[in-house]
Amino acid sequence: MLQLAVILPTYNERGNIALMVERLDKALTGLNWEAIFVDDNSPDGTADEARRIGRDDPRVRVIERIGRRGLASAAIEGMCATAAPVVSVMDADHQHDPVLLPKMYEAVVGGEYDVAYASRFAEGASTEAWGRPDRVKASGLANRIARRVTGVELSDPMSGFFMLRADILRADAHRLSGVGFKILLDILATVDAPLRVKEFPMNFAARATGESKLDRTVVFEFLVGLYDKWLGRIIPTRFALFGTVGAMGVAVQFGVLWLVRSGLLGAPFVYGQWSSNTAFNIANTIAAVVAMSFNFVLNNELTYQDKRLRGVLPLLRGWAKFAATCSLGLLTNVGAAAVLRTMGFHDAISVIIGIVLGSVWNFALSSKFVWGKY
């Protein structure tokens, strides 16, 4: 009977697959196991390599996902794709030692613990061999923030090496975020029942071959995910991002206006031939257009990174639509403030409500017409 499934998310890990299967085979003698490589259509042919091994060894299976990316979502799909009652997730690049698997299995199979995981920061663990003091520091920081926001009290909630009973995972799989790298943290913060967790100290090794896929996008997604858990129900994450970008745009507008007025940018052109009022208006218009374009670019990169517009033409079209949206938003903004003021509201209150209404308008319209799908 199948006892254990080891899920190995892969992206460009071709050179690591064969040895990984060998090491699993050695570590798991006596257990009935399968390994599922969940590959996101890696350009280096990782999936082909795994299939090649799987033809001789039916314990090796492959899920190939097309047009998708992400460690966490790959782990979830792998864990949902096995009949094994116990599932484990580990990296395929040899940073995680499969020798720990049988001990983790012992801890969860009888129900003594719900989750077993390997920690890089537990008593007796080591990150020496990793050779990345910068990443050790960053992981320590990420772990501290994660503990604070989610209340998960582990030494390494960011670990990517863990095991649990499949029914626990499947009961809540639909509620997991599946974004980025933080799959264990996601499970612990999502499953309502208090989970009994057994910690195993590990020696986190250096990657065998290939490169890490943890990049800026993953870090950004991590921060966004924490915000989502923290305040997301009160102020939706995307609107919060949109608003933050908008606030930065205000700073940019002031900055550009100051540059023009102080003579550092285009002053002869602006101030040479016009009265001071007209000059101010021209300068401020330039500043507003720069700020709006800045907002467009940042929203495209961050707020709507999952729907990012690419290529010259789509970008130009998006910019024009964003400009149209913003001009209507500006009318809403100024109009609402004017109405509120005649109703007797304090000036500042009127302006602030105007800004909020204008932003909501901009957000609603641009998410539909600039970054939306029809």
Interface residues with ligand GDD (CB under 6 A) are 9-11, 13, 38-40, 69-71, 74, 91-93, 95, 139, 158, 160, 181, 207, 212-214
Give the type of residue at 76: I
Which C-beta is closer to Mn ion: that of 42 or that of 299? 42
Under a CB-based contact definition with an 8 Å cutoff, are residues 86 and 3 in contact? yes
* Residue 36 near residue 61 (C-beta atoms within 8 A): yes
Least CB distance from residue 91 to Mn ion, whole Å? 5
Q: Which is nearer to ligand GDD, 139 or 325 (CB)?
A: 139
Distance CA 148, CA 225 (A): 13
Q: In what order do the strands lie in the sheet with 197-201?
A: 60-64, 33-39, 4-10, 86-89, 162-165, 115-119, 197-201
49 or 93, CB closer to ligand GDD? 93
- Of the listed pieces 32-40, 87-95, 168-176, 264-272, which binds Mn ion according to CB under 5 A? 87-95
Among ligand GDD, Mn ion, none, partner that 74 touches (CB below 5 to 8 angstroms by kind): ligand GDD
**Token reading at 372:** 């939306």
For residue 67, which amino acid is it? G
Q: How many CB atoms lie within 10 A of CB 124?
A: 10
| Segment lying near Mn ion (by CB under 5 A), choices 30-38, 132-140, 199-207, 225-233 | 199-207
Closest distance of CB 95 from Mn ion, Å: 4
Q: Applying CB under 5 A, which of residues 40, 93, 156, 199 lies at the interface with Mn ion? A: 93
Choose the one of ligand GDD, Mn ion, none that binds residue 78, judging by a C-beta under 5 to 8 angstroms depending on kind.
none
Structure-token pair, residue 1: 């009977």
Which residues 250-309 are close enough to bind Mn ion by CB under 5 A? none
What type of residue is 352?
Answer: I
Give the C-alpha separation, 73 to 180, whole Å: 8
The interface partner of residue 40, options being ligand GDD, Mn ion, none and the CB cut-off 5 to 8 Å by kind, is ligand GDD
**Dist. CA 228–CA 240, nearest whole Å:** 10
Residue 10 makes contact with Mn ion by CB under 5 A: no
Provide the minimum distance between the beta carbon of 53 and ligand GDD in the complex, in angstroms, as a whole number.
16
Shortest spacing between CB 49 and ligand GDD, in angstroms? 13
**CA contacts within 13 A on the Cβ side of 176:** 27
Q: How many residues does the chain have?
A: 374
Can you state the percent helix, strand and coil of the chain, rounding each to 5? 60, 10, 30
What's the closest the beta carbon of residue 91 comes to ligand GDD, in angstroms? 4
The listed partner (ligand GDD, Mn ion, none) that binds 75, CB under 5 to 8 Å by sort, is: none
Residue 114 interacts with which of Mn ion, ligand GDD, none, CB < 5 to 8 Å by class: none
Task: Give residues in contact with Mn ion (CB under 5 A).
Answer: 91, 93, 95, 207
